[in-house]
């Protein structure tokens, strides 16, 4: 099966993850997809294919010469930020640089997404504008599986042992929760989970998740004077005390942010959900302290216990674990250049399974998968970018 057909098959599986289920994988569609992938890996000739009860797949391409054991990893789930059910992809042939009408009233506009103009003249996979596409990260899976199939069909190519791993629930920060680094048995690995062609990343955000619960008092509004405490108004007051410009829509590069991702409330109870991000560990810790400070400030004004905070770290910047083994970054750069791709080394404004795995002893930088506008109905995937990612995997293995 060619890489495009493989990808189009993969996106037919609904694998949206859901942090509310407290299950692994968090949704049944991920296990359905995992079973399909395990069968496919066996059918192309991969060995030692395993699928555990949590939906983690591992498989081996035996080496035919001496060398380090290298791994390639991608995740099976898609983001809960947009629907991944009934994805209807189509291929825009020889893209002409104009706006793309995905469906009636839903247009992928070049004015809003000018990056697409880089792919003029290429075939591009888009959605019908009602779901995300799933290139994050089914493109990565398609690239890995297709590369492994090619190596199996060409035994004359000399390479060491290669391991592949596919994980559930990366999009909800749980992709590495049950990943057995020891069983994977690699000297180092790469996640195929980046964006545009050429991206190579070994720095990512430090990340935390925070919930603030605000408790109010509800009485009849006609007799509320000095009695009612509207938890929604108090929560709003807390939210606007955070720096206005330190949000995702106002930051780039190495700039961190506070991101309000959920607000649910009544007069009596309101919950604010935040994610906290910063590349610098000291600033990251300062951001967490600032939220704790604002909660204390609210409690001083409205009474102890009015606001409560719960916070947990999700992952840390992998840079400190990659710097001692920078040869694996040099290897990826050389592989890209060998297949005609200019490496674009940049920090990840997010995280990957590789960040946590790096802290568990498996150095694991991130390589582009080729898609753009992830987590969005405007997501698209230039086919040549996906093919180049496959070629980079092959070149790394050869080198």
Instruction: Report how far residue 383's alpha carbon sits from residue 125's, in angstroms, rounded to the nearest whole number.
Output: 7
- Write out the two tokens for 200: 């190579």
Expressed in angstroms, the distance from the first to the final Cα of the chain is 25
Q: What is the signed CA dihedral for 166, 356, 169, 343, rounded to 10 degrees?
A: -60
Q: What is the signed CA dihedral for 37, 43, 44, 45, rounded to 10 degrees?
A: 110
- Which residues, at least 6 apart from 248, have a Cβ–Cβ distance to it below 8 Å? 257, 259
Instruction: Report how far residue 285's alpha carbon sits from residue 271's, in angstroms, rounded to the nearest whole number.
Output: 22
Select which of 40, 77, 136, 199 is catalytic: 77
Compute the C-alpha angle 344/348/354, nearest 5°: 105
Evaluate whether 78 touches 16 at the Cβ level (below 8 Å): yes
Secondary structure class of 29 (helix, strand, coil): helix
Instruction: Report how far residue 287's alpha carbon sits from residue 108's, in angstroms, rounded to the nearest whole number.
Output: 35
Select which of 136, 143, 149, 170 is catalytic: 170
Instruction: Report how far residue 352's alpha carbon sits from residue 142's, in angstroms, rounded to the nearest whole number.
Output: 18
Catalytic annotation present for 170: yes
Evaluate whether 169 touches 30 at the Cβ level (below 8 Å): yes
Q: What is the widest separation between alpha-carbon atoms in the chain?
A: 84
Q: Which of 194, 154, 149, 191 is nearest to 6 (CA)?
A: 149
- Which residues, at least 6 apart from 50, have a Cβ–Cβ distance to it below 8 Å? 38, 57, 58, 59
List, by residue number, the catalytic residues. Answer: 77, 170
């Amino acid at each position: 099966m060619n890489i495009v057909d493989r990808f189009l098959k993969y996106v037919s599986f609904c694998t949206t993850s859901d942090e509310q289920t407290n299950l692994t994988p968090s949704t049944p569609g991920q296990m359905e997809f995992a079973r399909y992938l395990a069968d496919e890996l066996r059918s192309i000739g991969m060995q030692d294919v395993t699928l555990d009860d949590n939906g983690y797949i591992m498989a081996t391409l035996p080496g035919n010469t001496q060398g380090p054991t290298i791994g390639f990893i991608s995740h099976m789930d898609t983001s809960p930020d947009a629907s991944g059910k009934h994805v209807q992809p189509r291929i825009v042939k020889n893209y002409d640089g104009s706006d793309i009408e995905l469906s009636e009233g839903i247009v992928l506009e070049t004015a809003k997404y000018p990056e697409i103009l880089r792919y003029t003249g290429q075939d591009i996979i888009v959605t019908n504008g009602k779901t995300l596409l799933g290139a994050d990260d089914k493109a990565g899976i398609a690239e890995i599986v297709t590369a492994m199939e090619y190596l199996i069909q060409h035994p004359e190519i000399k390479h060491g042992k290669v391991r592949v791993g596919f994980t559930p629930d990366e999009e909800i920060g749980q992709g590495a929760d049950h990943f057995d680094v020891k069983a994977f048995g690699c000297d180092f690995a790469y996640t195929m989970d980046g964006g545009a062609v050429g991206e190579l990343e070994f720095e990512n955000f430090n990340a935390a998740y925070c919930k603030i619960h605000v408790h109010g008092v509800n009485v009849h509004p006609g007799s509320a004077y000095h009695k009612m405490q509207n938890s929604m108004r108090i929560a709003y007051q807390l939210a606007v005390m955070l720096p206005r410009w330190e949000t995702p829509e106002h930051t780039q590069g190495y700039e961190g942010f506070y991101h309000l991702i959920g607000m649910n409330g009544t007069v009596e109870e309101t919950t604010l959900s935040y994610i906290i991000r910063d590349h610098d560990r000291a600033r990251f810790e300062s951001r967490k302290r600032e939220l704790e400070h604002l909660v204390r400030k609210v409690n001083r004004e409205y009474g102890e216990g009015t606001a409560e905070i719960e916070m947990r770290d999700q992952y840390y910047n992998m840079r400190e674990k990659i710097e001692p083994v920078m040869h694996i970054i040099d290897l990826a750069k050389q592989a890209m250049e060998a297949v005609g791709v200019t490496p674009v080394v940049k920090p990840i404004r997010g995280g990957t399974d590789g960040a946590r795995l790096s802290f568990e002893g498996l150095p694991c930088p991130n390589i582009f998968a080729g898609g753009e506008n992830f987590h969005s109905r405007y997501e698209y995937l230039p086919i040549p970018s996906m093919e180049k990612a496959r070629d980079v995997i092959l070149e790394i293995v050869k080198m």
